[in-house]
Amino acid sequence: MYLETLQKALFEKFNQDRTGVHISDITLCPRKSVWRKLHPEPCTMRDVNFFSSGRSIHDSIQTLANHEGKFEIEQEVHWEGMVGHIDLVDKENNIPIECKSARMKTMDSPKSHYVEQLKAYMAILGSKTGVILVQLLMHFD
């Protein structure tokens, strides 16, 4: 009963109407974004697991980073009718920072859609520098 409640809540969250086109809609697979909108599927427990752990890590990193108030959290940006939310912005240096988590032990390079999303935010902010922070969930050292 409780797990079904979580699945239902996540389904409703994933299927809320969002206004405009989001940067994440174009940096991931645009066809997948459209397909999910047209053919929503029930959320699985795996979806709940990924969402809850990813969201927890994301919120924790933002909380720790904001300890001294040097970062803007979830800065909403607009460009050409699109909207995005930058995880962290180093206010002093105008550097966008994207926070990700991955169930991996090592990562040789960031996933391409991480890079594309960061490049979009850098362009919108007019920044020559951007940072991707990836927390590797299977790396315990």
Q: What is the mean pLDDT of residues 90-118?
A: 93
Average pLDDT over residues 20-40: 76
Q: How far is it, in rounded angstroms, from Cα 98 to Cα 91?
A: 14
On whether the pTM is more than 0.85, the answer is no
Residue 122: what pLDDT? 97
108 φ, ψ (degrees, to nearest 5): -75, -35
14 vs 51, higher pLDDT: 51
pLDDT of 29 reads 67
What's the pLDDT at 26? 80
In percent, the amount of the chain with pLDDT more than 90 equals 57
19, pLDDT greater than 80: no
Per-residue pLDDT, 138: 87
For the stretch 34-93, pLDDT in tens is 777 778 888 899 999 999 998 999 999 999 998 888 999 999 999 888 899 999 999 999
pLDDT digits (tens, 9 = 90+) for 121-131: 999 999 999 99
Question: Can you tell me the distance from the alpha carbon of 113 to that of 19, in angstroms, rounded to the nearest whole number?
Answer: 22
Tokens of 16: 């809320």
- H-run or E-run covering 95: strand 95-102
Q: What is the pLDDT of residue 95?
A: 98
Quick one: average pLDDT of 9-14?
A: 87
Residue with the bigger pLDDT between 97 and 102: it is 97
Q: Considering only CA atoms, which of 49, 65, 52, 139 is closest in space to residue 98?
A: 65
